[in-house]
Amino acid sequence: MDSMGIGSMLIVSIVSIAMGSVITTQTALQIESSWIPTWTVGFVSRTSIVMELCPTIISLLLVGNLGSRITAEIGSMRVTEQIDALEVMGINPASHLVLPKVLASLIVNPVLIIFSIFFALVGGYLTILITGSVSPYDFIDGLTYCFRVYDVVYALTKTFVFAFVMSTVSSFYGYRIEGGALELGKANTQGIVVSSFIILVLNVLVTQIML
Amino acid sequence: MIEINNVSKYFGDKQVLFDINTCFEEGKVNLIIGRSGSGKTVLMKCLVGLFSPEEGTVLYNNRDFHHMPDTDQRKLRAEMGMVFQGSALFDSMTIQENVMFPLDMFTDIPFEQKLERVNFCLERVDLHDVNRLYPAELSGGMMKRAAIARAIACNPRYLFCDEPNSGLDPKTALMIDELITEITHEFNITTVVNTHDLNSVITIGETISYIYQGRLEWRGSSDNVLTSDNELLNDFIYAQPLTQRIRKKL
Ligand SMILES: Nc1ncnc2c1ncn2[C@@H]1O[C@H](COP(=O)(O)OP(=O)(O)OP(=O)(O)O)[C@@H](O)[C@H]1O
Ligand SMILES: [Mg+2]
């Protein structure tokens, strides 16, 4: 679990800062009108970051990062007969290997995504500071305006669902490998494609159900 | 004792094992020999339940392994140790953790006692100062020995070794053969060894089953393996120039 999370921290923070910066710039550009109060920029940026961008984009990023690591780890255990060794000992390899990975993802992914939200907001704030398109006070005002706990619950619910999809699908593709190391690469790609696809479809569904 | 009755195994349409009948005796080293691709590994995997044969039965002391209740099967598996062709050590664990793993799973003795047992097993296979190393840091022969240590950690009644000395130098190969024989006699284990190593065939084969293209072709022991008049067996035994020359002298 430790090996899963820490390594992804750097890439997650970089992507998040960039994402926060871009979305804030875009929003500021679109809302350049005297009719709309300037705090809207902070408000809209926050809403998109917390509710959609971080849970979905970062989950997809983690599929490529953590998911593929799960596939590789379980797949290489399959190829080198370590899974057979477990089975001969009478241990159920599925629950012994897959369950801990699923549990770890359910803990690690939400933590990473909370960090990611924080970094994205910081990225947005820094952009405002540098470009000066909106006053920082108005931006912070917008960020904190009408804050709802439900938004966070919503973001975390998505994250949990996506983490579950990522860990189970990746494990599955690693587990069912037959043959050699060549299969490992193929399984990895399949795992990433299928997890991403399921995550994107579920994203639409969960959004419909929860909003 | 393990009895194999009329075992056939298919992969899709391809039949790999054809109606095999043989048995492996208690307290003895039982060899399965045959050329590469003859079906030795598949047969062994049928024995330990990694594959289930489409036809026939595998009996452990007259009890059908593939058709016993799950709880009994698990109990039986706890009495098995297996050394895989590629060692199959868990590469995320140290050697000590590897050997201790079956003890963690099947016993609840305190850590000190487990450690004692681990060190005893490592000592037994002549491995020293490797407790903290990872499998990737060992040589092939050391990995095989570590795998044997893991297989005997729980005092198994049945020991399965898939080509335990392939790819090793003759001295180390001999050492592993001797080790397996000693352990078998010392703890009265039913040991089954897959091999195509002629040295093993002559020195440790107390019973020998020769598999040719998925069929049991010959059954005997190291005493009569060199003097049988089975053509196919002789083709296998006397395949190399060295053994051919020895045959002329016999
Ligand atoms: N999982 C599998 N699916 C399909 N065919 C298989 C499978 N495993 C083995 N076979 C086939 O079964 C035959 C016997 O293979 P096996 O691995 O038992 O040979 P072996 O006697 O152990 O050879 P070696 O000495 O090289 O290890 C081979 O022709 C192989 O192609
Ligand atoms: Mg084999």
Residuewise pLDDT in 10s, chain B (250 residues): 999 999 999 999 999 999 999 999 999 999 999 999 999 999 999 999 999 999 999 999 999 999 999 899 988 998 999 999 889 999 999 999 999 999 998 889 999 999 999 999 999 888 999 999 999 999 988 999 999 999 999 999 999 999 998 877 888 888 889 989 999 999 999 999 999 888 888 888 899 999 999 999 999 988 888 888 888 888 888 888 888 888 887 7
How many interface pairs between A and B have CB atoms less than 8 angstroms apart? 44
Tally helices (H) and strands (E) across chain B: 9, 10
What is the helix (H) or strand (E) element at residue B9, kind and residue range?
Answer: strand B2-11
Q: Report the half-sphere exposure of B193 (CA within 13 A, side-chain side).
A: 31
Residue of chain A whose Cα is closest to the Cα of B51 = A84
Pick the residue of B71, B85, B90, B93 with the most A CBs within 10 A to test the interface with A by mutation. B90
The span from the CA of B221 to the CA of B204, in Å, is 9
Atom 19 (ligand 1): residue with closest C-alpha?
A: B37
Q: Ligand 1 centre and the CA of A152: distance in Å?
A: 54
Is A80 close to B78, i.e. CB distance below 8 A?
Answer: no
Give yes or no for residue A120 having a pLDDT over 90.
Answer: yes
Where a domain ends, among B155, B178, B211?
B155
Contact indicator for B9, B53 with CB cutoff of 8 Å: yes
B80-83 β-sheet, strand order: B80-83, B158-162, B190-195, B29-33, B207-212, B215-220
C-beta neighbour count of A74 within 10 angstroms:
28
Q: Ligand 2 centre and the CA of A106: distance in Å?
A: 40
Same domain, yes or no, for B182 and B144? no
Pick the residue of B87, B98, B157, B163 with the most A CBs within 10 A to test the interface with A by mutation. B87
For residue B160, the SS3 value is strand
End-to-end Cα separation, chain B, in angstroms? 34
Is B91 close to A82, i.e. CB distance below 8 A?
Answer: yes
Average pLDDT of the residues of chain A: 91
Where a domain ends, among B123, B155, B187?
B155
Same domain, yes or no, for B168 and B150? no
What is the helix (H) or strand (E) element at residue B63, kind and residue range?
Answer: strand B63-64
Same domain, yes or no, for B213 and B99? no
Same domain, yes or no, for B168 and B138? no
The span from the CA of B162 to the CA of B193, in Å, is 6
Is A85 close to B82, i.e. CB distance below 8 A?
Answer: yes
Work out whether the CA dihedral B238, B241, B245, B248 comes out positive or negative.
Answer: positive
Choose among B45, B92, B102: nearest Cβ to A89.
Answer: B102
Contact B161/A at CB under 8 A: no
Give domain status of residue B112, yes or no. Answer: yes
Contact indicator for B24, B205 with CB cutoff of 8 Å: no
Work out whether the CA dihedral B113, B115, B119, B122 comes out positive or negative.
Answer: positive
Give domain status of residue B84, yes or no. Answer: no
- A15 is written with which tokens? 């992507």
Is A85 close to B73, i.e. CB distance below 8 A?
Answer: no
Same domain, yes or no, for B65 and B166? yes
What is the helix (H) or strand (E) element at residue B210, kind and residue range?
Answer: strand B207-212
The proportion of chain A whose per-residue pLDDT surpasses 90, expressed as a percent, equals 67
Q: Which of A126, A112, A86 is nearest to B98 (CA)?
A: A86
Same domain, yes or no, for B224 and B106? no
Give domain status of residue B28, yes or no. Answer: yes
Same domain, yes or no, for B163 and B244? yes
B55-60 β-sheet, strand order: B14-24, B2-11, B55-60, B63-64
Same domain, yes or no, for B71 and B191? yes
Same domain, yes or no, for B130 and B211? no
Q: What pLDDT, on a 0 to 100 scale, did the predictor assign at position B168?
A: 79
Give yes or no for residue A32 having a pLDDT over 80.
Answer: no
Choose among B74, B85, B86: nearest Cβ to A90.
Answer: B74
**CATH number, position B29:** 3.40.50.300
Where a domain ends, among B121, B139, B155?
B155
Contact A85/B at CB under 8 A: yes
Domains in chain B, number: 2
Give domain status of residue B105, yes or no. Answer: yes
Same domain, yes or no, for B145 and B167? no
ipTM of the prediction: 0.88
Structural domain that includes position B145? 89-155
State the nearest Cα–Cα gap between A96 and chain B, in angstroms.
11
Q: Of residues A49 and B168, which shows the higher confidence score?
A: A49
B203 CB-near residues (< 8 Å, 6+ apart): B174, B177, B222
Ligand positioned closest to the Cα atom of B39: 1
Pocket of ligand 1 (CB under 6 A): B 11, 16, 34, 36-42, 85, 196
The span from the CA of A57 to the CA of A203, in Å, is 11
Give domain status of residue B143, yes or no. Answer: yes
Alpha carbon A114 to its chain centroid, in Å, reads 10
Contact A87/B at CB under 8 A: yes
C-beta neighbour count of B74 within 10 angstroms:
15
Give yes or no for residue A113 having a pLDDT over 80.
Answer: yes
User: Which pTM was predicted?
Assistant: 0.86
Give yes or no for residue A2 having a pLDDT over 70.
Answer: no
Give domain status of residue B68, yes or no. Answer: yes
User: What is each CA distance from A176 to A139, B16, B166, in whole angstroms?
Assistant: 50, 22, 28
Same domain, yes or no, for B245 and B163? yes
Same domain, yes or no, for B71 and B166? yes
